[in-house]
Structure 1
Amino acid sequence: MDHQHSDDTENKGSISLSGGVAMGTGVMIGAGIFALTGQIAQLAGPLFPLSFVAGAIVTSFSAYSYVKMSNAFPSSGGIAMILQKAYGPGAIAAAAALLMALSMVISESLVARTFATYVLRPFDITGGPLVPILAVGVILFAFLVNIAGSRSVGLLSLIMAVVKIGGIALFGIAALWASGFQFAAASEASPGFDITGFIASVALAILAFKGFTTITNSGGEITDPHRNVGRTIMISIAICVVVYLIVAFAVGSSLTIDQIVAAKDYSLAEAAAPALGNAGFYFTVVLAAVATASGVLASVFAVSRMLAMLTDMKMIPHRHFGMSGPIRSHTLVYTVVIASILAVFFDLTRIASLGAFFYLVMDMIVHWGVLRFMRKEVKANASIIILALVFDAIVLVAFTSMKLQSDPLIVLYAAVAITAVFAFQRIYLSRWTAQQPSEEH
């Protein structure tokens, strides 16, 4: 892992605290609010705005493990570094890191399909072949920009982050103002509160915040990382929950729960029309296109970088398939191919569900590793990590329960895929855990 250390030394200090916040917030807001609001409302009912609050609370507890590890070992390795420090270079660390990479690819396809759904909304097209075609198109666009170099990605992502955060907040405030702050979603005709559905909805809300992990992947590049990684993560989560709440209440002020669920894949555009008229509708469509396109762009960059790092760390196998150039360009190709396949064959609901299963399982493995093997070294509070594990477990059980009722096949797909990842890594690496000689405690 010498190459990793040298990279960190060279890059240290290139991202300021404000730059890190813009990056993390931009990644989070790029996907969650447009893709997930309707799905969360379907599970949580009239209290769906509170799902974002609950998601932020669970994510804040989860972030503790990442913050403590990143503060102790600031590195561009991010989650891969955390897992390898905890479990050694074995199959558990590699499989969990691969689950994270795959959940990021899933997020990429989720945002790509959301882009297509919103762009087609003005033409009253809600299905058919144009949705996957446009989704694949925006993924290919992100691939071309990434091939042009990381400087292009960084600058474009920063500009788009500022535009979409301001634009989404403006949409929410304007829609709330136009509706007179009446919350239509909580009307008497709405379904009642269901505790299991609400807890299950938190699994999807967590996906709207999981972009904070991108910050840990840049730990070695943030100025004064021992202090600023944690600050960057918590400020980003705080900004996101405020923006999400404004938008959730804005959607709820314009539409009833039934209307939100009926338009779940494009609920923000649907909410804009009665509140703000045609101009608001088109503004929201353009805003969604910018936000989701930039989300795909940032996601492709982050995933391909993580896969390249896992390859360099000998945690996953690599095949060139006749391609020339560096490993990073190969992992870019793998990333866009997998994301494109998902975008073609899965709808938004199934893509989001798959991402939630992958992420929650990986998150619990991270917490257990820090609690069991690294707690004393990084001076972490065991109670906070245990609470993070308990919250994840409760949300995962509730989400699985709901999906077994509504779509048992996606639970089967997730279980088979997760089992396959662990079995594959066990065969490839031939051992579950292996303590690193240089890091014996």
Structure 2
Amino acid sequence: MKQDHKAFGLWSAVFLGIGSMVGAGIFVLLGEAGAIAGNLVWVSFIFGGIIALLSGYSLAKLAAAYPSRGGIVEYLVQCYGEGVFSGSVSVLFYLSAMVAIAMVAKTFGTYTTMMIIGQDNKFWVDIFSVGILLTFMFINLAGASIIAKSENIIVIFKLSILILFTIIAFFYINPDLLSIKDAPPIKNIFSSIALTFFAYEGFRVITNTAEDMENPAKLMLKSMIIAILFVMTLYIAVTFAVFGNLPLPEIIKAKDYALAEAAKPAFGEMGFKIMAIAAL
């Protein structure tokens, strides 16, 4: 008897997790986190990554035990049954997901507006934000196979640009900008962990692939750990590249498109546009 082909293998799930995390994190939160933790944001990203690893471990175990596209909502039902409590918590979960999606959509709108219009314009930010939401809604409706294939392409493209930017930007780093003497108090680092952990928020999306994964008991935890560790390493490297190339006030000023702004010292205006494309 012919078995149904599963859309997600190890690397498809890893790419989905990486794409979800990077899209929701590094392009959005560098400026915000930098305003709190200064040039020690990289330390905050380490703590955020550790928390994500611990959470990811628990979710991966649940996903292996209860393979479902429902993800966290399914685990709530399995634990508490179908009732008011599980339903209420599920609604709160979906509301938090909506906030995360809105943030990512706004970032897309901001980067697109800066690249096409050349200046921040609320009307066009809203138009582009809604446009990307509709685009990915139709991709999701197309099914798991389309999601897996499109995510692989998007992630490879995005990571190629980010890694290239990071490597080249390291040659332009000004060590004085990373000096510990200019660092904020230690308590600020802990205050910024909520933001940097949010940059890993997309890791839970991996659990939604369990029903479409070849062997979730074997691959789920492995894909979760690989994705989070890779993103943690990437975030730390990018943070050094950005904060080593731009003074903190400039990063905060360009907080909605700090990565693109940080590409200017090494790549000029073309670097800004290329990084803006990667953010899309």
2:149 maps to 1:155 = yes
- Report what 2:212 is aligned to: 221
Q: After TM superposition, list the pairs within 5 Å mapping 1:78-117 onto structure 2.
A: 78-117=71-110
Structure 1 position 265, deviation (Å): 0.8
In structure 2, the CA distance between the partners of 1:225 and 1:12, relative to structure 1 (3 Å rule), is farther
Deviation sequence 1:106-149 (CA, Å, 0-9, x none)? 22211111112112224442243222222122222323444455
Instruction: Give unpaired runs (5+ residues) of structure 2.
Output: none
Establish whether residue 207 from structure 1 lines up as the match of residue 198 from structure 2: yes
Between the aligned partners of 1:160 and 1:73, the Cα distance in structure 2 is 29
The residue number in structure 1 matching 2:57 is 64
Question: How does 1:345-364 map onto structure 2 within 5 Å?
Answer: none
Per-residue deviation, 1:248 = 0.7
Paired position in structure 1 for 2:270: 279
Which piece of structure 1 moves more, 134-143 or 51-60? 134-143
Matches of residues 354-433 of structure 1 in structure 2 within 5 Å? none
Give 1:18-33 correspondences, 5 Å limit: 18-33=11-26
Question: Which residue matches 1:193?
Answer: 185
Question: How far apart in 1 are the matches of 2:93 and 2:266?
Answer: 38
Cα RMSD for the two superposed structures: 2.1
Structure 1 residue ranges without an equivalent (≥5): 1-9, 290-441
Partners of 1:219 and 1:148 lie apart in 2 by 18
Provide the aligned length of Structure 1 versus Structure 2: 277
Residue 134 (structure 2) pairs with residue 136 (structure 1): no
Among candidates 7, 13, 25, match of residue 14 of structure 1: 7
Output the CA distance in 1 between the equivalents of 2:211 and 2:56: 17
Report 1:268-347 matches (<5 A).
Answer: 268-289=259-280
The answer on whether the counterparts of 1:187 and 1:256 sit within 8 Å (CA) in structure 2 is no
Whether the 8 Å CA contact 1:116–1:134 is kept in 2: the answer is: yes
* Structure 1 position 182 matched with structure 2 position 172: no
CA distance in 1, matches of 2:198, 2:165: 22
- Per the alignment, residue 356 of structure 1 pairs with none
Match of 2:29 in 1: 36
Amino acid at match of 1:76: R
Q: Which amino acid aligns with 1:261?
A: I
For normalisation by structure 2, the TM-score amounts to: 0.90
| Contact kept in structure 2, 1:25 and 1:161, CA below 8 Å | yes
Once the two structures are TM-superposed, the CA of residue 154 in structure 1 deviates from its matched residue by: 3.0
Residue matched to 2:158: 164
1:58 Cα offset (Å): 0.8
- Counterpart Cα distance in 2 of 1:54 and 1:11: 40
Percent identity between the two aligned chains: 32
| TM-score, length-scaled by structure 1 | 0.59
In 2, are the aligned partners of 1:46 and 1:193 still within 8 Å (CA)? Answer: no
Instruction: State the shift of 1:74 in Å.
Output: 2.6
Q: Is 2:47 aligned against 1:54?
A: yes
2:243 to 252, 266, 278: 252
AA at the equivalent of 1:255: L
Displacement of 1:244 after TM fit? 0.8
Rg larger in 1 or in 2?
Answer: 1
| Residue 102 of structure 1, CA deviation | 2.0
Question: Which secondary structure state, in structure 2, belongs to the residue aligned with residue 217 of structure 1?
Answer: helix
Distance 1:128 1:96, change over 3 A: same
Structure showing greater relative contact order (alpha-carbon pairs closer than 8 Å, 6 or more residues apart): 2
Other structure's SS at 1:15 match = coil
Whether contact under 8 Å (1:12, 1:220) holds in the other structure is: no
1:254 partner SS: coil
- The amino acid of 1:33's aligned partner reads I
Q: Does 1:233 align with 2:227?
A: no
- SS of 1:121 mapped into structure 2: helix
- Find the aligned partners of 2:176 and 2:26 in 1 and give their Cα distance: 18
Corresponding residue SS for 1:14: coil
- What is the distance in 2 between the residues matched to 1:11 and 1:82? 25
Give 1:224's aligned amino acid: N
1:118 aligns with 2:92: no
List structure 1 segments (4+ residues) > 6 angstroms apart after TM superposition. Answer: none
Amino acid at match of 1:168: L
Deviation at 1:185, TM superposition (A): 4.7
CA contact (8 A) 1:32 1:209 kept: yes
Q: Is the 8 A contact 1:212 1:236 kept in 2?
A: yes
Alpha-carbon distance between aligned partners in 2 of 1:242 and 1:107, rounded to the nearest angstrom: 22
